[in-house]
Amino acid sequence: MSEPLTLERLAELRRIAEAAVPGKWSGQDFQLAMTPRTVLALLDEIERLRRERETLAAAVMAWEEYRNAALGSIAEVEAVAKLREAHTKALAQLQGRGEEGQE
């Protein structure tokens, strides 16, 4: 596994790449910067970000499916809000706070 790319390293690579003359790949700074280790680190980061994006997209889709199934209508949303309020009051009473715990 290659070393992680810090923000500073990414900025350095960007600076070197932007300073390279287009079509002239023989620039010493560019060649020294683009080592197999650097390229592998870039590829590792791309793969990590793609996995993260897929995981987050799946979570968003699951949440949307839940929301559409469980809270599809305004009446259901209002019912859930009332249940939550009743639950909060019940917990407050069980904990001995009674109405004082409510604002």
Domain that holds residue 93: 72-103
CB 60 within 8 A of CB 20: no
Closest by CA position to 16, among listed 35, 36, 30, 34: 30
Position 46 scores a pLDDT of 92
Q: Are residues 14 and 58 in the same domain?
A: yes
Q: Are residues 65 and 78 in the same domain?
A: no
Position 97 scores a pLDDT of 62
Give pTM, 2 decimals.
0.53
Q: Are residues 81 and 60 in the same domain?
A: no
Q: Are residues 76 and 45 in the same domain?
A: no
Q: Are residues 94 and 56 in the same domain?
A: no
Q: Are residues 20 and 58 in the same domain?
A: yes
**Residues of the chain scoring pLDDT < 70:** 1-2, 22-27, 70-74, 97-103
Q: Are residues 42 and 85 in the same domain?
A: no
List, for residues 22-48, the tens digit of each pLDDT value: 666 656 777 888 888 988 989 999 998
Position 10 scores a pLDDT of 87
